[in-house]
Structure 1
Amino acid sequence: MALDATVGGASADSYVTVAEMDTYFSGRGVTSYDNATTAEKEFAAKDVTFFIDSKYAGAWKGSIVADSQALSHPRSELKDLEGRSIATTAIAPQVKNAVFSMVEAGLTDENLFVRDEAEGRIIETENVVGPIEERIVYQQAVGSSKSYPQVDLILKPLLKTGGGKLVRN
């Protein structure tokens, strides 16, 4: 099924088009993207869009522009870090850049929602010498997905908990 990147569309399933991704990656020499088929590019864009909408659900500033829109963006009342309004007729550049920065991981068929328990902190180990037994217990992963600090940084001005300005009196 073809990708739908209609801004504010009731059936939209991506924040970016394949043409936008082609333009973005062509100047950056991302070789894994060059070898992807159109279907793989569309899947990556949809997968990443779904990931971003799921991970940041409830954390966005502002509100959706229309009750009928399928995705979390466009949104009203959004501003960038410089205080400039972000148009409600377009997807915020930060959202598109977050998708672009994650598409390469999507193209490598990485499951964006799986957390590797080995990433957790070891909280208990047990070694028994005879007849050899070993056990490692990891701290339970916090959250439902991996952390992507670059994406968090890109989206910070659009999130309720990020992008605030410090004002001193």
Structure 2
Amino acid sequence: MTLIVETGVGLANAESYISVADATTYHANRGNSAWAALASDIVREQLLRQATEYMVGRYRDNWKGQRTGIVQALDWPRYNVQLPDVGFGAIAAYVPWNVVPVEVANACAVLALQAISGPLAPNLERTIKQDTVGPLTTIYADGAPEKPRYTAVDNMLKAYLAGSGTSGKLVRG
């Protein structure tokens, strides 16, 4: 089945924020040979679907703005997404309502590469406070995250996420 890529119109059947060709270019430009080593474009499509599903599950409640349509399959395109670092004086700049930002597409490619190693959102297990195997002991800090965190992706998406450093500090007096 051919991968259906969101084009900015709010497709009801979109499966990815980026095409296989664009993801391949992204990874080639960064020397990510693991992407090129994959068996086929069918495998690449599957990984891009997994990455997109992860993004919807992880970020749906955190994106700025609102989706442009009730039937669109994915979170982008969106409207009312103000960019914190673009504008002219007091005039704010907004992401056009009919695009998927390049950072969103690139983040999807990065997550697809990560998905080669296994599930992006694995089932959580109980946190182990101390684990000893032979002479090695691992102790996890209290409050350590139990699930993977993709910091590079979070950084790529920062401008599009609500509460990502664009708000001031609230002080009550």
Shorter-chain TM range is: 0.7 to 0.9
- The match for 1:129 is none
Q: Percent identity?
A: 25
Partner of 2:99: 90
Amino acid of the residue matched to residue 104 of structure 1? Answer: L
1:12 is aligned to 2:50:
no
**Of 83, 100, 104, which aligns to 1:80?**
83
Residue 112 in structure 1 maps to residue 120 in structure 2: yes
Structure 1: segments with no counterpart, 5+ residues: 126-135
The corresponding residue for 2:135 is none
Distance in 2 of aligned mates of 1:117 and 1:32: 28
Contact kept in structure 2, 1:121 and 1:139, CA below 8 Å: no
TM-score (norm 2): 0.76
- Asked if 1:35 is matched to 2:33, the reply is no
Runs of at least 4 residues off by over 2 Å: 115-118, 136-143
Gap change, CA 1:109 and 1:43, over 3 Å in 2: farther
| Alpha-carbon distance, 1:53 to partner | 0.6
1:24 aligns with 2:17: no
Moved more, 79-88 or 35-44: 79-88
Deviation at 1:24, TM superposition (A): 1.1
Amino acid at match of 1:85: Y
Alignment TM-score, normalising by the size of structure 1:
0.78
Unaligned runs of 5+ in 2: 87-92, 132-138
CA contact (8 A) 1:117 1:138 kept: no
